[in-house]
Amino acid sequence: MRLDDGKLSLHDLHAFIYASPPGSAFFNSVEKGWSTTDHLVAGLVDLTAILAWQNTADAQQKFPRHRPKPIPRPDYSSERPTEAPLMGGMSASVMSIDEFQRRIAERAERRSRGN
Enumerate the domain spans of the chain: 1-33+82-115, 34-66
**pLDDT value, residue 111:** 80
**pLDDT value, residue 1:** 58
**pLDDT value, residue 27:** 74
Distances in whole angstroms, Cα of residue 87 to Cα of each of 44, 59, 83: 32, 47, 13
**Strand ranges inside 49-106, DSSP E:** 83-85, 91-93
The single-letter code of the amino acid at 105 is A
**Strand ranges inside the chain, DSSP E:** 83-85, 91-93
- Taking all residues of the chain, what is their mean pLDDT, rounded to a whole number? 77
Quote the CA–CA distance of 77 and 60 in Å, as a whole number: 34
